[in-house]
Amino acid sequence: MKEEVIFSLDTPYRESCRIRAFSFGSGHKTCAVVAGIRGNEVQQMYVASLLVNKLRRLEEENGFLRDHQVLVIPCANPFSMNVNSRFWPMDQTDINRMFPGYDKGETTQRIADSIFQVVRKYEYGIHLASFYLPGDFIPHVRIMNTGYENAGLGNLFGLPFVVVSEPTPFDTTTLNYNWQIWDAKAFSVYTRETEMIDSQSAKMARNGILRFLNRVGCIRYPSSNGFLPTVVEEKNMLKIHTEHAGIFHRLRDPGDEVEEGEILAEILDPLTGDITDRIKAPAHGIVFFAMRQPLISIHEIAFRIITDLHS
């Protein structure tokens, strides 16, 4: 294992912000894994740390095949992580909206550039990502439909679902999108949690990445086949919005199979405790995403339901 500092910045009242990368194997730059771009992505950093630990042991045991190299950046934003801020604390910019970066730009642009100049050279790119909504997911692989994607490769992770999403103009400055534009085969891996540690889904994600590396001929890693993934078009998922604000009492979790009309959650009046609304499933399906915040506003996305399991 080799450790390298790919970016360093002096910060006020804290130790210097140093972004560290760990590389394993040698030769062809096969796969880069990036986590912790946002300061609250504790679960994602944890998954990457599990991966670093396992890859180090595999390398010591000659588990890497010849002419393959893997790079892992467990925490791409240590300064925000240290001060518990999701975005860059000085100006609240999102590093994952700054790619491919600019080496003479603002701080977050320079950070994005430093990361991208390293990881764009790899054949495969894996981003341990979080969603813009606070809540829980079924562990899955997400692939952006840029015209350069290969959704079939998502099956190699052996996670329950492969989600294909249509990029918006807002997505063109993300790491995943720019990886694909620069000819890398890019994936985003999502686990159940973000700010809290969930060991079960973290190990599932770690094992999924190891399974992928094994199947592309990078490492020797005997493992189970995992799940037979279902490929889902994100645009075909049902979004369930709230019609009332209040205390959110969730009754169903991601992965639960629900019937049409089944109660998924209740909205309570925060002062009287009265039930002001019951959120019901509009169709039979599987809960893919569920909001977790205790207080919810009107017109928020409370659930996402997969209804077409053969898409």
Q: What is the CATH number of the domain that holds 292?
A: 2.40.50.100
* DSSP element (H, E) containing 131: none
Which residue has better confidence, 285 or 308?
A: 285
309: pLDDT confidence band, cut at 50, 70 and 90? low
pLDDT of residue 300: 95
Residue 111, domain member (yes or no)? yes
pLDDT for 244 beyond 50: yes
Q: Name the domain boundary from 201, 233, 265.
A: 233
Q: Is the dihedral of CA 209, 46, 197, 98 positive or negative?
A: negative
The answer to whether 125 and 100 are in contact (CB under 8 A) is no
Please tell me the predicted confidence (pLDDT) of residue 124: 98
Q: What is the pLDDT of residue 61?
A: 95
Q: What is the pLDDT of residue 134?
A: 83
**pLDDT of 250-293, one tens digit each?**
999 999 999 999 999 999 999 999 999 999 999 999 999 999 89
60 and 128 fall within a common domain = yes
8 Å CB contact between 3 and 52: no
User: Which pTM does this prediction carry?
Assistant: 0.93
d(CA 63, CA 232): 34
Q: Do the domain assignments include residue 311?
A: no
Across residues 149-155, what is the average pLDDT?
89
258: nearest Cα among 227, 239, 284, 235: 284
Q: What band does 131 get if pLDDT is binned at 50, 70 and 90?
A: confident
Query: Given a cut of 60, is residue 310 above it in pLDDT?
Result: no
State the CB neighbour count (10 A cutoff) for residue 108: 23
Q: Are 83 and 92 in contact (CB under 8 A)?
A: no
Q: Are residues 76 and 204 in the same domain?
A: yes
What pLDDT does 311 receive? Answer: 43
Which helix (H) or strand (E) covers residue 189, if one does?
Answer: strand 185-190
Mean pLDDT of 158-165: 95
Please check the confidence at residue 123 and state whether its pLDDT lies above 70. yes
Residue 125 lies in a domain: yes
- 43 with 127, same domain: the answer is yes
Same domain, 172 and 250: no
Q: Would you state the pLDDT for residue 13?
A: 66
Q: Give the integer Cα–Cα distance in Å for 263 and 251.
A: 7
Q: What is the pLDDT of residue 150?
A: 83
Q: Are strands 124-128 and 29-34 parallel, antiparallel or unpaired?
A: parallel
Coil, strand, or helix at residue 213?
helix
Q: How confident is the model at residue 132 (pLDDT cuts 50, 70, 90)?
A: confident
Alpha carbon of 6 to those of 42, 116, 185, 284: distances in Å? 21, 10, 22, 48
Task: State mean pLDDT over 207-214.
Answer: 98
Same domain membership, residue 280 and residue 206: no
Q: Domain end: 233, 254, 273, which one?
A: 233
Cα gap 212→216, rounded to integer Å: 6
Residue among 188, 194, 204 nearest 127 (CA): 188
The answer to whether 280 touches 271, Cβ cutoff 8 Å, is no
DSSP H stretches of helix in 131-225: 175-181, 199-215
C-alpha span between 42 and 193 (Å, rounded): 9
Residue ranges making up the domain that contains 277? 237-306
Confidence of residue 222 (pLDDT cuts 50, 70, 90): confident
Longest dimension (CA), the chain: 66
Predicted local distance difference test score (pLDDT) of residue 53: 98
Q: Please name the residue that has the structure tokens 């002419």.
A: 67
Exposed / middle / buried, residue 1 (Cβ in 10 Å: 0-12, 13-18, 19+):
middle
Q: What is the mean pLDDT of residues 162-184?
A: 94
In this predicted structure, the answer to whether residue 153 has a pLDDT above a threshold of 90 is yes
Pair 215, 273 in one domain: no
- What is the dihedral sign for C-alpha 8, 205, 81, 98? positive
Task: Work out how many domains the chain is built from and give that number.
Answer: 2
Q: Is residue 224 scored above 50 in pLDDT?
A: yes
> What's the mean per-residue pLDDT of the chain?
94
Q: Which one, of 171, 115, 127, 123, lies nearest residue 145 by Cα?
A: 171
Question: For the domain that residue 102 is a member of, what is the CATH number?
Answer: 3.40.630.10
Residue 178 and residue 218 share a domain: yes
